Amino acid sequence: MEKDFKLIATTILTHLGGASNVDSATNCITRLRVNVKNPELIKLEELKKSDSVMQVINDGKIVQVVLGPGIVKKVADQFYPLLKETTSATPTPTPTPTPNGILNIKI
């Protein structure tokens, strides 16, 4: 049975506290490396039990999810767009000028 790499990526992202908690992410041949904003949002035990996760190395704001060669690239290819989808769904504040020239930003 073929693995669902998008589901694996989504599960990892959820256990890392969601896209809004990810500061940056990259991968090497075996690991997905993620810098998080708030390490307290990480569900470490759930992350360790996730499908295809071999090991998790957590060093504060730096989390390395070991997936192994052949899997990490496929998961990473699904993981990166999830970060963009979630952040682009958040409306960008639009500044509006006031009569006195001061900008108000509506959030």
Residue with tokens 């073929």: 2
Selecting among 4, 23, 24, 28, the annotated active-site residue is: 28
Burial annotation 76-94 (CB, 10 A radius, 16+ → b, else e): bebbeebbeeeeeeeeeee
**28 part of the active site:** yes
Catalytically active residues, by annotation? 28
